[in-house]
Structure 1
Amino acid sequence: MLTKLPVKILLAALIMLVGYSGSAAYDIWTYAKTTELVKADAAIVLGTAVWGDEPSPVLRERINHSIWLYENDYVEKIIFTGGKTNGSELAEAAVSKAYAISQGIPLEDILTEDRSLVTIENFRYVSEIAELHELANFLVVSDPLHMKRALQMAEDTGFEAYSSPTTSSEYNSAATIIPFFCREIGAYVAYGLSIGD
């Protein structure tokens, strides 16, 4: 009887994990459609890969969306996030800033945090910028399938944050959506388990 107990515990844990993952998948997929077009102090653009001194196609769409928010008076400032990842020489935030300036966004309305390497750090470091510049509420910009985890992290960090996913994305086919979706499920579950400790 005692030798079977650990197996039962492992099986129960596995069933719970599968159930939690299924619930997470549903939440991520349905939340991806959530767009909250409210006026806010700033847009927080979550960083992702850069290609040399240019934003990757995924990052470019995030920047373009934040520019749209700015030009349509939904935000007064844009905060670009992201440090040097994947061996890049330039920080994601710096590349994003240069691109936005080239598109006509005034330098004085751009803020950057260039230390973060993962999403939760985006918000932790932006909180310092928000306090310094007295910014109170934010539109969070990322790809639709990233929004559930991003908004959860923003709220856990203490932000008044609203979802503003990109309206176009490089994740636009089964070959690109499925791997990204699976990664997000894993990351969301891992984050949920870590804050439950």
Structure 2
Amino acid sequence: MRTANDGRGDETWEDPAPDAASSIPASSDDDATRVMSRDDLPTVTRRGDTDETTVLSRGPLPDGTVPTDDDPAGTRAFDRNDPAFDGLFTDPATSGSATPDAPGAPDVPGRTRRFVHDRPRAEAVRPTGRPSTDDPGPPRRSRPARGRRPAPRPRGRRRIRLRWIITLILVTALALPPATWGWVWYTARQDDRVATDAIVVLGASQYNGVPSPVFEARLRHAQVLYLDGVAPMIVTVGGKQPGDNFTEAAAGRNWLVEVGIPADRIIAVEEGSDTLQSIRAVSLVFDDNGWDDATLVSDPWHSLRSKVMASDHGIDSGTSPSRSGPAVIERRTQLWYITRETASLWYYWIFNDSSDIRVNAA
């Protein structure tokens, strides 16, 4: 059932039954747009012909009477072919150019109009959810993306952090030499007397086959270690200076033989003019004999550097320095030796070379 679009909805008409000969399509969709044609209504009456509302009825009046043209107050029956109603169906202004039912034909009072049930047109929606209009509207507030990194800190904080890093590096650089100095002093006070494969006596000055007081103090300490059973072998090491008749190693071996050490228990490695060259030569002897560890005999302040070099050449070593001789008698000499060994150790770490400062003790 449909209701006339007069704004009041107080009068209705019934939908006709679908007819195969009729041009009006049968549809159950009450909201669909339909075109009303007078050719499809054989019996049509009109009642209340006013400027506001025109209601069309297909049958008799409710009281059973059929309105006639002689009833001016009631609904008048009309025929599409009746010449009296030509003005209702023909528009002189559009005659020959457009039909009343043609789309886009102008609305003329007194003629049949197309009834269209308009639907509200849905506006296209953009992906952002705002209707598609020419006016984009106020700009949307941007939200920070998830996972976005926080804003960088001010440069002032970076400068402060950089200053702290530089300060820490400088403090560390300034603290390393004193720390190394203390390490040299601490190692000089250690005495490792565990069993090893051999006792290695590092060379010092000799005078035509006679060990200097510093070298003699080392040899005497090696004799004590051998007698205590620390190692079954003694290795003396050291070359000679230009013009010398004896090497440091040979002078040390001769001295040990004179004090009662069997000659077959002594190996003289007559090579090396500094600590690094001597350790390299000793490492070859250890490889030939299959030895792994050693007890290093030297001055107390020389113990750390010789131990580091031996470890770098594959010899697991401990230190047992001599506690007698000119190198340990005076305080001033001790401070000089510790400072010299600290500088020599750093020189070795940086340049991988030896910087021995030979001391000729009387």
* TM-score (ref. length: structure 2): 0.48
CA positional deviation for 1:185 = 1.5
Change (3 A) 1:114 1:21: same
Name which of structure 1's ranges 129-138 and 65-74 shifts more when overlaid on structure 2: 129-138
For 1:35-184, what aligned pairs fall within 5 Å after superposition? 35-85=191-241, 87-171=243-327, 172-184=329-341
Q: Give the deviation of 1:20 after TM superposition.
A: 2.6
Cα drift, residue 86 of structure 1: 6.9
| Corresponding residue for residue 19 of structure 2 | none
Displacement after TM superposition at 1:96 (Å): 0.2
For these two proteins, the number of residue pairs brought into alignment is: 185
Give percent identity, aligned residues only.
27
User: Cα distance, 1:17 vs. partner?
Assistant: 5.3
Alpha-carbon distance in structure 2 between the residues aligned to 1:188 and 1:78 = 26
User: Which moves more between the two structures, 127-136 or 155-164?
Assistant: 127-136
Q: Secondary structure at the match of 2:343?
A: helix
Q: Who wins on radius of gyration, i.e. which is larger?
A: 2
The amino acid that maps onto 1:91 is T
TM-score (norm 1): 0.86
Q: Using CA pairs below 8 Å that are at least 6 residues apart, which structure has the higher relative contact order?
A: 1
Alpha-carbon deviation of 1:88? 3.0
Q: What amino acid does structure 1 have at the position aligned with 2:289?
A: H
CA positional deviation for 1:134: 2.3
Query: Is 1:19 matched with 2:168?
Result: no
Gaps (5+ residues) in structure 1?
1-11
How many Å apart are 1:13 and its aligned residue? 9.2
* Secondary structure in 2 matching 1:36: coil
CA shift digits 1:96-126 (9 cap, x unpaired): 0000000011110000111111111111111
Contact 2:209 2:247 in 1 (8 A): no
Partner amino acid, structure 2, of 1:73: G
Letter in 1 for 2:266: I
More helix by share: 1
User: Match of 1:6?
Assistant: none
In structure 2, runs of 5+ residues without a counterpart are 1-167, 353-362
CA offsets 1:105-151 (integer angstroms, 9 cap, x no match): 11100001111111111111111111222222110110111001111
The structure with the greater share of residues assigned to strand is 1
RMSD between superposed Cα atoms in Å = 2.1
SS in 2 for 1:40: coil
Corresponding residue for residue 194 of structure 1: 351
